[in-house]
Amino acid sequence: MAHGYLNQFAQDKAAVYSAGIETHGLNPNAVAIMKEDDIDISNHTSNHVDQYNDLNFDYIITVCDHANENCPFIPSDKAIRLHHNFFDPSKIDGTAKEVHTNFEKARNEIKAYCKEFVANNL
């Protein structure tokens, strides 16, 4: 979701890459909740952080404590490292309405963070 919003808000000011320490594919609930905000992430991919070892990033943003604590070192001469632990809605078991509500909450928090990041850093 952060990748989608960073692309939207940064437009041509940044190249956005997204990766994790594990690859699980796209969560259909994340795709659906982003589509409700007119952002299509259905063609995004689930990449492992090691795929980007050759890039020299300006910023490295981790979006959960697990990644922040376990992410392998990403070599980058100048990267500013930022961390924000977002609630993970994929961990919720419940009714369809409860799942939707939690994905919407996470989406809105991520959207606000990404908008502020772009406004203050790019």
| Domain boundaries, given as residue ranges, for the chain | 2-121
The CA distance from 32 to 23, in Å, is 19
Q: What is the pTM of this model?
A: 0.91
pLDDT in tens, 48-79: 988 988 888 999 998 988 777 776 667 777 88
What pLDDT is attached to residue 23?
87
Distance of CA 99 to the CA centre of its chain: 19
**2-121 is classed in which CATH architecture?**
3-Layer(aba) Sandwich (3.40)
